[in-house]
Amino acid sequence: MQIRRLTDADAEPLWRLRLSALQTEPATFAESLDELLQSTPETFVERLRSGGNENFVMGAFDNGALVGMAGFYREQVAKKRHKGWVWGVFVSPPYRGKSIGRALLVSILESAQALTDLDCIFLTVATTQEPARRLYRSLGFRSFGIEPRSLKVDGEYVDQEHMVLEVSPPNGSRVET
């Protein structure tokens, strides 16, 4: 298994994996399948090119096939630049239970924590996704609330848990994770 940052050359496999994610787990992502279908792999080329060090997607590859993904972005407005977000975590069902999600998250956290003045990393996770919630807690994320009715998917509500990983204490020195 190879974990690496995705480049614009990975746009089509990323788009296809995102499509699979939205088809198999519609209640865990804010983006709908219809919304994704309004984009193209070429749209993803631009997204991957424009990311820089503060906005990126990590991928997990098995024999060259993209089987997992996790994204990160840093807030851009001055008063929020101390915060970053993990998004879009997904591992193809046949590859679950093999620590691929953990490897993706560790890679994301290592890259994100190298950013200057990044103090905390946030994420949201559907409360129905217990394996993902356990993974995030095991990496040091802590819950700070449940948002009821966060998503509405096919007429059903999905609650989401908000989590944070504080990567530096209030005085600004780094915390090792």
Residue 176 domain-assigned (yes or no): no
Do the Cβ atoms of 165 and 121 come closer than 8 Å?
Answer: yes
Give the tens place of pLDDT for each residue, 7-64. 999 999 999 999 999 999 999 999 999 999 999 888 888 888 887 789 999 999 999 9
Do the Cβ atoms of 58 and 6 come closer than 8 Å?
Answer: yes
Token digits for 161? 């848990």
What average pLDDT does range 141-156 have in this prediction?
Answer: 95
Task: Please report the pLDDT score of residue 169 as a whole number.
Answer: 65
The domain spanning residue 100 has which CATH number?
Answer: 3.40.630.30
Token digits for 149? 């009715």
Residue 171 domain-assigned (yes or no): no
Tally of domains in the chain: 1
Within 8 A by CB and 6+ apart from 11, the residues are: 41, 42, 44, 45, 47, 48
Residue 145 domain-assigned (yes or no): yes
Residue 177 domain-assigned (yes or no): no
Domain residue limits at 81: 2-166
Residue 98 domain-assigned (yes or no): yes
What average pLDDT does range 109-123 have in this prediction?
Answer: 93
Within 8 A by CB and 6+ apart from 134, the residues are: none
Prediction pTM value: 0.89
